[in-house]
Structure 1
Amino acid sequence: MALEHWAFIYVADGCDPDRDISIVDTGKSRTVLVGVGAHEQAPAVARRLVADGAQLLELCGGFGAADTAAVLAAIDSAVPVGTVSYGPEAISGLHALFG
């Protein structure tokens, strides 16, 4: 089976997952980007994305291990879930943005 539909969930202040949705559809691949304002919204969003046909989910670097576990539990591990991570070389840049 080829990957035809995947989604990325990101967290940013002020995002509403019912409003902040972007879709990139090339005709061969569909990518859905959904913004959440709080980590706790991600499990429900993940369920909705899987129900809509997403074959793979990715979470932005703002999600930790517990958040990822909550998403996996919410979808009963129906599809793979990946997370963005940053190496040690990014620490000073991340600190400048969020410190």
Structure 2
Amino acid sequence: MSASWAYLYLHPETDPDTDRTVLDRGSIRTTLVAVPSADRAPEVAAALASEGATLIELCGGFSLEAAAAVRAALPSKVAVGHVTVSVDSVHAAAAFGDSVG
């Protein structure tokens, strides 16, 4: 069985079921998924976990609260990573997150 992981990023007006890219080279499967809002991320992550993803990474546009909601929606065997930004980029990252939901 190959390893499987996913990266979720925020992009307004997207459909996570169709706005995705899958790279599968046998030993590892990577799924990149656009989600329209942070509120949709837990359900999308849970679906990816049910398909075999054992790592869900979240882009830096997700708040800590949104990352916690994703963590709560997943079984403990699925790891959740959250991209962070350097301290000098916090304001710009927060503005980006506010602009996409």
TM-score by length of 2: 0.83
Q: What is the CA–CA distance in structure 2 between the aligned matches of 1:88 and 1:35, rounded to whole Å?
A: 26
Answer yes or no: is the 8 Å Cα contact 1:43–1:70 preserved in 2: yes
Q: What is the CA–CA distance in structure 2 between the aligned matches of 1:3 and 1:83, rounded to whole Å?
A: 23
Q: What is the CA–CA distance in structure 1 between the aligned matches of 2:51 and 2:83, rounded to whole Å?
A: 23
- Unpaired segments of 5 or more residues in structure 2? none
Q: Percent identity?
A: 41
Q: CA RMSD in A?
A: 2.2
> C-alpha displacement at 1:3, in angstroms?
7.1
Q: Number of aligned residue pairs: give it.
A: 96
Q: Match for residue 71 of structure 2? A: 72
Answer yes or no: is the 8 Å Cα contact 2:2–2:27 preserved in 1: no
Q: Which has the larger radius of gyration?
A: 1
Query: In the alignment, is residue 33 of structure 1 matched against residue 39 of structure 2?
Result: no
- Unpaired segments of 5 or more residues in structure 1? none
Q: What is the CA–CA distance in structure 2 between the aligned matches of 1:19 and 1:41, rounded to whole Å?
A: 14
> C-alpha displacement at 1:82, in angstroms?
0.4
The ranges of structure 1 where at least 4 consecutive aligned residues each deviate by more than 3 angstroms after the TM superposition are: 89-92
> C-alpha displacement at 1:78, in angstroms?
3.3
